[in-house]
Amino acid sequence: MDLGLRGRRALVSGATQGIGRAVTDALAAEGTDLFLVARDAERLALTAKQVRAEFGVRCDWHSADFSVPGEAGAAAEVCGPVDVVVNNAGRSHPATLETEAGEWAASQQLNFLSHLEVIRTVLPGMRERGWGRIVNVTGAAYRAPLQLNSGTIAKYGLVNAAKNLAREVAQSGVTVNTVTVGFIDSHQMGSIHYAEAEHRQQIVDRLIPMGRFGLPREVAAAAAFLASDRASYVTGSTVTVDGGADPTLL
């Protein structure tokens, strides 16, 4: 299926690993002109070369010294007119009531404010041109969190903002949607506590009706569809890619 993305200009954050890299590859396969954002300069340069991206912009949105207008806004401004934004950068941040305020603020910056600033930067041009796609990627745990987690709380804010923004821009040719993911075989899943085979099997048996972890490319397929001409009547939606997992158990 031709998604009608050839020649469109897309900005993807967290673009060099896991789900972000899969989204980058999916959009590249559709002939999209890509602008990639990531914090690892070496991996960013390699990815940009492999997918023939026009720009690679290094932004460390994990830093507590993160400047929302300075870094996130600059990333979008460097790229010029942007038709598609895939806000994928993010990280889980377990927290307690004793967690320092600065850590809560850093999580909000990474998981919510950075994405909001990119949207604020590119949205006027999208509305002026009468076409735009904003796709936010977040974890499904925001629906039924099992523990206090500053990242999950921040992503809930992003989902809420997307729903409201979708209504605001609904008649301008711009759509705003969210892809929520369950247990995906990505670098981030492996870096936390799902790498052990026994634990993984317990998760599969208890939580995932399809009987396996998902693949980054399966998330990317959903994101690419929402970024396309084919999804012109889809906005304000949350598309869940989790193998049928019960959200009350996540």
Q: What is the rounded CA–CA span in Å between residue 229 and residue 114?
A: 26
The pTM is what? 0.86
How confident is the model at residue 199, as a pLDDT? 75
Cβ-contact 36, 14 below 8 angstroms: no
Q: What is the rounded CA–CA span in Å between residue 71 and residue 217?
A: 28
The rounded Cα 103 to chain-centroid distance in angstroms is 21
What's the token pair of residue 29?
Answer: 């396969």
The C-alpha R_g of the chain, in whole angstroms, comes to 17
Q: What length is written for the chain?
A: 250
Q: Which domains does the chain have, with CATH numbers?
A: 9-186+216-238 (3.40.50.720)
The one-digit pLDDT tens for each residue of the chain (250 residues) are 789 999 999 999 988 899 999 999 999 999 999 999 888 888 888 998 899 887 777 765 555 444 444 556 666 777 778 999 999 876 666 666 666 767 767 777 777 888 888 898 899 999 999 999 999 998 876 565 555 666 677 777 888 899 999 999 999 999 999 999 988 887 665 544 555 677 778 888 888 999 999 999 999 999 999 999 999 999 999 999 999 987 665 5
What's the token pair of residue 201?
Answer: 């099997």
132-139 vs 33-38, strand pairing mode: unpaired
How confident is the model at residue 107, as a pLDDT? 73
DSSP states of the chain as a string? ---S-TT-EEEEESTTSHHHHHHHHHHHHTT-EEEEEES-HHHHHHHHHHHT-SEEEE--TT-TT--IIIIIIHHHHHH-S-SEEEE------B--TTS-HHHHHHHHIIIIIHHHHHHHHHHHHHHHHT-EEEEEEEEGGGGS-SS-BHHHHHHHHHHHHHHHHHHHTTTTTEEEEEEEE-SB-SHHHHHTT--SHHHHHHHHHHH-TTSS-B-HHHHHHHHHHHTSGGGTT--S-EEEESTT--TTT-
